Amino acid sequence: MDTKCIFCKIINGDIPAKIIYEDDQIMAFHDNAPQAPVHFLVIPKKHVSTLNDLTEDDKALAGHILFTAQRLALELGCEEGFRVVMNCNPLGGQTVYHIHMHVLGQRQMHWPPG
């Protein structure tokens, strides 16, 4: 755990979150500044700062995050479509340096993103 990391604090139960799903490897919770009617984050429980810090050893973990995002999106009513986003580093728009997959749904998305 990174004691300064806000998402590690959520995992540790030190700050509250609206948790949707949790197992020994990952957690999913609602974003506290939602950008769509459905907006949740799927994160690994181990602290990984950016997408660039994932390694070949994390392949199963990355797949677990992706398929959990898919399953929860469908469970939360996004069968008409949804978007997954992972922002990496400042130019990618990352603000929290504990990797997370955004899942956004139940509104029309546009391309390209801003």
Residues of this chain that interact with ligand 5GP (CB under 6 A) are 6, 17, 29-33, 87, 93-96
Give the span between the Cα atoms of 2 and 81, in whole angstroms.
34
The Cα–Cα gap between 100 and 97 comes to 9
Token pair, residue 83, equals 């978007």
Coil/strand/helix, residue 20 = strand
Q: Pattern 39-68, binding to Zn ion, x per CB under 5 A?
A: --------x---------------------
> What does the CA dihedral 28, 34, 36, 37 come to, rounded to 10 degrees?
80
Look up 110 and say whether it is catalytic. no
8 binds, among Zn ion, ligand 5GP, none (CB under 5 to 8 A by kind): Zn ion
Q: Which is nearer to ligand 5GP, 25 or 89 (CB)?
A: 89
Of the ranges 30-38, 72-80, 86-94, 98-106, which one interacts with Zn ion (CB under 5 A)?
Answer: 98-106
* Strand-pair partners of 84: 103
Q: What residues make contact with Zn ion under the rule CB under 5 A?
A: 2, 5, 7-8, 47, 98
